[in-house]
Chain A
Amino acid sequence: MSYRTLSILAALFVSSAFIPTMLAGPADDAFDQGQQALAAKDYTTAIAKLQQAVQLDPDSLRNSSQLRQAVLRQTIAAHPKEGSTADFDAEIAFFQKAAADHPMSSNILLNYGFAYVDKIPAAGSITQVILANTALTQFGKSIELKPTWIALYTRGNSYLYWPRVFARASLGVADLEKAYAMQKSEPKKSYHVRVYISLGDGYWKTDNIEKARSMWQEGLQAFPDSQPLKDRLSKQGDDLKTYIDNVLDPNKRVDTDLKELWMQS
């Protein structure tokens, strides 16, 4: 190995280590400015700055998630209840382009899918089906690139919202079992409780009641303060069905804020 080769490798190492730092700076700045604008309810500025942050650091869960939250707050402020479907179109177009520009970013694809989920409550019942299915497609692409805990949890949980007649709950269970296996091999995080809840719901929805209760109980041992787990374990039969049907009602807005995740990363 010649000196020149070593130098090039060294230079490559230095630059590859330096590039994220260089990008993280402006992305962080844009993110901070976006957050400030969001706090001031200046949604136009917030969205512009957060879009900038996404463009500078496309694989950041934080930037994309906060961008979606800004859009959500803007549309709810403009249109009471669940907003108007058109309010979400610019956001979807932005993520579509970002996904095309950054085809190897699994988190962009994940948030692209979430952008469709955010639109669902504002849409008519049949458009909801179309949006939910499109979101699943993007979640699937994200998993193909990188089967992360959040991507598996997200897709698995999404399948559970589909009515039984579509028989998609078993697909959700498969994803959630993978997410469960992942989190068992990681240090405990507060958001891990979500898999206990959803995987139990998945077992319930596939008529495996004992497995569902067992999963919820295991979750409660790990997270003794979890009210959703306590609620499920305190109910039986029709009461439990009513409770879970209500939780998995596609007409209700799903909390797609990933703050809990990126704040602990």
Chain B
Amino acid sequence: MKRWLIALFVIPVAVFAFQAVEAKIHFEEIGAKAGVNAHHHSRQFNGDTGDVLHMFTSGGSSAAVGDFDGDGFDDIFVTDSDNGKPNHLFHNNGNMTFTDVAVKAGVVKGNEPKTIVADALWFDYDNDGREDLLVARFGTPILYHNEGNGKFKDVSATSGLNKFGNTIAVIAFDYDNDGLLDLMFGNYFKPVNLLDLKDPHVLPNDLDNAVNGGGVTLWRNTGNGHFVETTEKAGFGKHTGWTLDIGHGDLNNDGFQDIYLACDYGTDRIFFNNGDGTFTEKTETATGFDTKKGMNVDIADYDNDGWLDIYVTNIYDEYMKECNMLWHNNHDGTFTDVSAETNTCIAGWGWAAKFGDFDNDGWQDLFVVNGLRSAGKDNYIPVLVNLITQPGVDFSDVRLWPKIGDMTWSGYQKKKFFRNIGGQTFKEMSAQAGVDNDKDGRGIGLGDFDNDGRLDFYQVNADQEALLYRNNTEGAGNWVQFKLTGTKSNRDAIGARITLTAGGLKQIQEINGGNGYAGQSTKRAHFGVGKALKVDAVEIHWPSGLVQKVDGVSVNKLNKITEGKGLDR
């Protein structure tokens, strides 16, 4: 009740702020022109169960945005998944064209006969100022050290990251605030090799409450290029769900990074950081248990109330009407799903969703990709329901699932672009924005690839070409970007929180290490400030605990700030 009373007073101000910058949001798809329309290939499996396993592993198409060569332009690493298929490293030429330098850089590999590439992440694990690369797999991960000469060195063997997992998501964050980036892997299937299947009972044991998935693993960075597993010690050992995505952020404003796990076939999980290297699961009290098909988690303060909120995609189609969830932070460790009230509920068979202020009005908009499998005219659902309604059927047995062949399953879905209307509601406008493609979307990587102050995005798709959307919004507001460099904190400044006041709005953003399914976005913080021509205040809460006020921040510029030193001049 209290929140809505506050909202009554906030709405007029918010609407005024929005109307002051009524931009015409529009994007142009330039993937082919830019040279980044990589075609993804999901893994083909052999044998009688190959068709079903192929269907169940239709992820693996992912993108990681990061400036690997430090030239001031964000580059894109793009994964492929079929046996022998190369990954891509698209170097940004600075003119909205890209060159694939993966071979030269030595990062093409990963798809081997018994391993499948599924996700990727840029992070500076050794704080040397260069973005290193982690390639997550159904298998063991590959860790590449950035050698600084456009080349990478495979340091997996000495990294300690030697545990097999069917990893579909990975994030880097500093969970113990020791200045070193740690890793969390989200694992979909339990740790058995699907490419060398011994036991056919590998699929979910329950389609709404499955507990036989891969859970997560947590790896602490010990500072010498080595990681040690701390999953059990940190309190994640009991989670055995089908993790599809991981989001991190300081959800209770205590200075420590908390975790939200989006899980397929059953309840999502929320873990609060105790500040001592351990976490406590608070799902029951924070959000309640759900039975939905969690696909993605992104975290942002959509209503500018100073607390991070959470957006989760689920599945909504004719035959399965699960709303997405927009968890509004109630400031007391609990969250309320406001997706229906904010018009962000319906987005098809959801995959990645990313917040971003695409019109620079000071409010975080939301882009959602969707669509499972666009194929022939026959629909797989009536076939599948025959299995589902069999009394006592063992869903985990891959041999029992009907083959999908050329059938379509929740395919040809139009993407959703939700424009944030003053933090109170959203308006779906994908067609007007020019982003209503019907590909089988998977991941999203945001970045200002042409450094023009408008957020662009890259969309990867399963078994289809990727798309690059250049933001051509007319009348976009002014903006402020930050590139933070940690000194005592991790150098990437992941977990640092920026509070910016401008144009009558106070906004917060945290630098994150890979939030969003199958995608990592730029580590720059991008704020829209509407008509404001100056910034009133900037405060940074570093993971080290340092609270730094920064003067002299410029509008319509990338501001580089080093921990404890202020603006780089």
Contact = CB atoms under 8 A, between A and B. Distances in A.
Given A129-B388, A129-B389, A124 B209 contact: yes
A164 B321 contact: no
Nearest to B209: A124
Nearest to A164: B318
B319 A163 contact: yes
B471 to A, nearest CB: 33
A251 B291 contact: no
B208 A123 contact: yes
Given A164-B318, A166-B319, A251-B321, A127 B385 contact: no
Given A125-B320, A130-B388, A166 B291 contact: no
Task: Say which size band chain A's interface belongs to.
Answer: 10 to 19
A92 to B, nearest CB: 13
Nearest to A167: B382
B321 A249 contact: yes
B191 to A, nearest CB: 25
Contact of B381 (A165, A249, A251): A165
Contact of A127 (B207, B379, B381): B207
Interface string B314-348: 01001111100000000000000000000000000
Contacts of A250: 321
Interface in B91-148: none
Contacts of A163: 318-319
Interface string A243-265: 00000011100000000000000
A95 to B, nearest CB: 16
B389 A130 contact: yes
A134 B208 CA distance: 17
A145 B391 CA distance: 22
Interface in A93-139: 123-127, 129-130, 133-134
Contacts of A130: 388-389
Contact of A126 (B318, B379, B388, B391): B388
Contacts of A129: 319, 385, 388-389
B543 to A, nearest CB: 38
Contacts of B381: 165-166
B292 interface: yes
A123 B320 CA distance: 12
Contacts of B291: 123-125, 127
A160 to B, nearest CB: 14
A124 B391 CA distance: 17
B217 to A, nearest CB: 26
A126 B207 contact: yes
B223 to A, nearest CB: 44
Contacts of A165: 318-319, 379, 381-382
A249 B209 CA distance: 22
Nearest to A251: B321
Interface string A156-185: 000000011111000000000000000000
26 contacts: A123-B291, A124-B208, A124-B266, A124-B292, A125-B291, A125-B292, A125-B293, A125-B315, A125-B321, A125-B322, A126-B207, A126-B208, A126-B388, A127-B208, A127-B291, A129-B319, A129-B389, A130-B389, A133-B389, A134-B389, A165-B318, A165-B319, A165-B381, A167-B382, A249-B321, A250-B321
Q: Which 3 A-B pairs have the closest CB atoms?
A: A124-B208, A124-B291, A126-B207
